[in-house]
């Protein structure tokens, strides 16, 4: 009984293999025949069903594609936003580095120019600014340990900033030339008169050159530097020749003894990040240290 079942199964297997070979031969042979006719008929019969199923499933496929494209677009949008943020940070760091490099380059140029001959410049970073709109003081990250003393001049590569007015441990406070208590003896180049540079009352960004006789022949564009004035007993806190600013306009008022002289400071007192403290300079009579 068992052998009969085995023979029957073998016969069925041989028959199926033979039918498969015939179908394959008919399909790839390119000829006609009943099998090809049968295939074409079956395809024609199933074609409407296939088209109908395709139309019925199209909304589902479109919905799936919409979700896929939406999530893909959101992912790409998030990635682009992250890249934009990264580029913005890099741009900010790049611009900051350029600004700092420019300040250091000017400070180095100041050292080489000989304008601060006789002093030992100490480079310092600004770590604090006065909280008022007057920008009258800044705090530096250097103090006694770096040789800084009260009344030491403070400059940038562009010009005069102010002087050290107080020390506290490893920091120092600088009173700017725009502070209402500031007064700097100054001279108009090349051979102009001397006066006093003071901030204009009510305008923290403006400087005036006071006590210039109305008959003095000066004009816009001339440079003003520290005069380094001294009478042997009393001296200016600043040595001669530190650049302060450029004259922007003059006005000889009728009936006035002195003319009004407006200045624009060379140093960017709002935007500076690094300065130099001029330490170990020659003693100036009447200037405490």
Which tens digit of pLDDT belongs to each residue from 194-221? 999 999 877 767 899 999 998 899 999 9
Contact residues for 240 (Cβ-Cβ < 8 A; gap 6+): 187, 225, 226, 227, 228
Give residue 33's pLDDT: 52
Between 10 and 178, residue with greater pLDDT: 178
Give residue 8's pLDDT: 67
Q: What is the largest CA-CA distance in the chain?
A: 143
Contact residues for 212 (Cβ-Cβ < 8 A; gap 6+): 188, 193, 195, 218, 258, 259, 261
Give residue 113's pLDDT: 47
**Cis, bond preceding 190 (omega within 30 deg of 0):** yes
Q: What angle do CA 206, 208, 272 make, to 5 degrees?
A: 45
Between 17 and 181, residue with greater pLDDT: 181
Give residue 177's pLDDT: 94
Cα separation, 58 vs 56, in Å, equals: 6
Cα separation, 247 vs 216, in Å, equals: 14
pLDDT of residue 152 exceeding 90, the answer is yes
* pTM, to two decimals: 0.62
> What mean pLDDT, rounded, does the chain reach?
77
Between 89 and 246, residue with greater pLDDT: 246
| Topology given in CATH for the domain delimited by 114-289 | Thrombin, subunit H (2.40.10)
Give the mean pLDDT of 74-100: 63
Give residue 42's pLDDT: 47
Q: Burial level of 7, CB count in 10 A (0-12/13-18/19+)?
A: exposed
Give residue 200's pLDDT: 87
Cα separation, 69 vs 191, in Å, equals: 76
pLDDT of residue 143 exceeding 70, the answer is yes
- Pairing state of beta strands 223-226 and 243-251? antiparallel
| 279 Ramachandran zone, left/alpha/beta (phi>0; psi -120 to 50) | beta
Domain boundaries, the chain: 2-61, 114-289
Reported as a pLDDT band with limits 50, 70 and 90, residue 69 is: confident
């Amino acid at each position: 009984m068992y052998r009969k079942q085995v023979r029957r199964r073998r016969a069925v297997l041989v028959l199926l293999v033979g039918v498969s070979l015939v179908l394959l031969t008919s399909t790839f042979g390119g000829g006609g025949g009943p099998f090809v006719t049968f295939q074409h008929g079956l395809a024609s019969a199933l074609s409407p069903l296939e088209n109908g199923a395709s139309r019925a499933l199209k909304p589902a496929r479109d919905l799936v594609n919409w979700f896929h494209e939406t999530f893909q677009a959101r992912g790409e949008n998030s990635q682009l936003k992250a890249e934009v943020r990264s580029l913005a940070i890099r741009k900010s760091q790049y611009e900051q580095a350029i600004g700092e490099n420019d300040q250091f380059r000017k400070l180095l140029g100041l050292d080489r120019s000989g304008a601060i001959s006789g002093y030992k410049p100490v480079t310092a970073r600004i770590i604090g600014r006065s909280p008022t709109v007057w920008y009258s003081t800044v705090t530096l990250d250097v103090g006694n340990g770096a040789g800084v003393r009260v009344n030491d001049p403070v400059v940038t590569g562009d010009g005069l900033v102010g002087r050290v007015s107080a020390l506290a441990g490893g920091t120092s406070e600088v009173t700017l030339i725009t502070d209402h208590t500031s007064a700097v003896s100054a001279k108009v180049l090349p051979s102009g008169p001397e006066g006093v540079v003071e901030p204009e009352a009510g305008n923290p960004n403006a400087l005036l050159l006071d006590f210039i006789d109305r008959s003095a022949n000066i004009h816009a564009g001339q440079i003003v530097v520290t005069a380094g004035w001294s009478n042997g007993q009393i001296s200016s806190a600043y040595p001669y020749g530190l650049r302060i600013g450029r004259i922007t306009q003059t006005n000889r008022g009728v009936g006035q003894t002195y003319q009004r002289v407006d200045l624009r400071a060379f140093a960017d007192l709002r935007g500076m990040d690094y300065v130099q403290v001029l330490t170990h300079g020659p003693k100036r009579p009447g200037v405490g240290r």
